[in-house]
Amino acid sequence: MSAGPIWYFDTAPAWTEAIRAWAASEPRITRVWVFGSRATGSRTPKESPDPVPDLDVGYTVAPKATDAEESPFTFAMFSEDRWLVRLRAAIPVKVDLQFADPDDVVVWPAIEREGVLIYESVK
């Protein structure tokens, strides 16, 4: 029987704290994970014009209590540029934000497979 995956979590503590501060300042952010190569320790230099390693961050958003018409996905879509400006100013690698929804067939399975939960709202 397998002992399960080994988590490496190749993410600087200062980066984790910056992500937590961002999430805590956004009332609708409910959970945040680091996933991908930084969660598994399999990070390698990318063959691209931009060799800076990235940081994959998945997050969930609570429904807006006062306006049921605005979905979490819509809120995330219109907020993401503002969030990326803040995170990229605080973290010296490329940050890729990914909206995480249990119905998603790409991001959610990656989070379930290798995600490291770094923030959960206590609200």
Identify whether the C-beta of residue 119 lies closer than 8 Å to the C-beta of residue 79: no
Rounded Cα gap, residues 52 and 65, in angstroms: 39
Identify whether the C-beta of residue 28 lies closer than 8 Å to the C-beta of residue 72: yes
pLDDT of residue 63: 83
Q: Is the pTM of this model over 0.85?
A: no
Give, as one character, the DSSP assignment of residue 97.
E
Rounded Cα gap, residues 65 and 62, in angstroms: 8
Handedness of CA 75, 79, 62, 107 (dihedral sign): positive
pLDDT in tens, 79-112: 999 999 999 999 888 888 999 999 999 999 999 9
Residue 23: which H helix or E strand, with range?
helix 13-25
How many other CB atoms sit within 10 Å of the CB of residue 11? 19
pLDDT in tens, 28-72: 999 999 888 777 766 655 545 445 557 888 999 988 766 666 788
pLDDT of residue 65: 67
